[in-house]
């Protein structure tokens, strides 16, 4: 059997694969928009002068990071809807529950890892800046919002880009709950055409291409904004 590139460059199989690529990119973008503010909130809870918040944030991070992503997605797809009221459950099942479950699982999973990167960035800011902000009357939240976070997020961008790269690759696991992303569509093409080489070559090239773009963005950021001591 020869490799037939035309199979994935035109026709319905091409459309299926492009549709899957679009879904994977959308999953990445939506999850990133939701996970970043959640990660900031978790990081602040880890550092807040309120012990119960510290414990809750720590429990969240350690629980999420020690459970495989596959288990998270299966829970959000099969388990979480059963805990909801019947009217909400019916609404979910009448809509795109697969995509909603994938976004939920990926968001909570990614936020746990991002929060640790952000917390490390905050702890990298000299304590004298916090003391100076407190000396002029800033509370904890004002100090973080106006003084610490703007600096911490800047030095945290490189590891956050790395987490974005991980997120992009993790979207492939959403195929197990029926999300029509890139791997799902590649499997669909393979099943329909019995041409696995072409289908998975497209998926491999797509994952590699987007990953290289993200890696290039990280390299450009390192070059444009080299990390210096604060």
CB atoms within 10 A of CB 22: 14
Reference 110, options 175, 31, 42, 173; nearest CA is 31
User: Rounded distance, CA 73 to CA 96, Å?
Assistant: 14
Encode 119-138: b = buried (16+ Cβ within 10 Å), e = exposed.
Answer: bebbeebeeeebeebeeeeb
CATH fold of 28-181 reads MetI-like fold (1.10.3720)
Q: What is the DSSP letter of 96?
A: T
The pLDDT value recorded for residue 1 is 61
Q: pLDDT tens string for the chain (230 positions)?
A: 677 677 777 788 889 999 999 999 999 999 999 999 999 999 999 988 889 999 999 999 999 999 999 999 999 999 888 888 888 888 888 878 999 999 999 999 999 999 999 998 888 888 888 788 888 888 888 888 888 888 888 888 888 998 999 999 999 999 999 898 999 999 999 888 888 888 899 999 999 999 999 989 888 877 777 665 44
The pLDDT value recorded for residue 230 is 45
The pLDDT value recorded for residue 176 is 93
The pLDDT value recorded for residue 228 is 58
Reference 35, options 120, 109, 123; nearest CA is 109
The pLDDT value recorded for residue 50 is 87
The pLDDT value recorded for residue 58 is 93
Q: What is the DSSP letter of 177?
A: G
């Amino acid at each position: 059997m020869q490799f037939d590139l035309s199979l994935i460059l035109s026709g319905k199989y091409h459309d299926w694969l492009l549709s899957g690529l679009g879904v994977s990119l959308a999953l990445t973008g939506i999850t990133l928009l939701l996970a970043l503010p959640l990660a900031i909130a978790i990081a602040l809870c880890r550092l807040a002068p309120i012990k119960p918040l510290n414990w809750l944030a720590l429990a969240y991070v350690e629980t999420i990071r020690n459970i495989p992503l596959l288990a998270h997605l299966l829970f959000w797809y099969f388990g979480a809807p059963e805990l909801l009221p019947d009217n909400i459950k019916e609404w979910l099942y009448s809509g795109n529950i697969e995509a909603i479950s994938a976004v939920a699982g990926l968001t909570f999973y990614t936020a746990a890892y991002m929060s640790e990167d952000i917390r490390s960035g905050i702890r990298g800011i000299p304590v004298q800046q916090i003391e100076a902000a407190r000396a002029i009357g800033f509370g904890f939240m004002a100090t973080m919002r106006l003084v610490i976070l703007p600096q911490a997020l800047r030095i945290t961008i490189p590891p956050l880009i790395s987490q974005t790269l991980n997120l992009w690759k993790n979207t492939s696991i959403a195929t197990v709950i029926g999300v029509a992303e890139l791997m799902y569509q590649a499997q669909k093409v393979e099943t329909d055409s019995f041409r696995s080489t072409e289908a998975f070559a497209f998926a491999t090239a797509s994952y590699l291409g987007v990953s290289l773009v993200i890696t290039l963005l990280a390299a450009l950021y390192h070059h444009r904004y080299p990390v210096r001591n604060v």
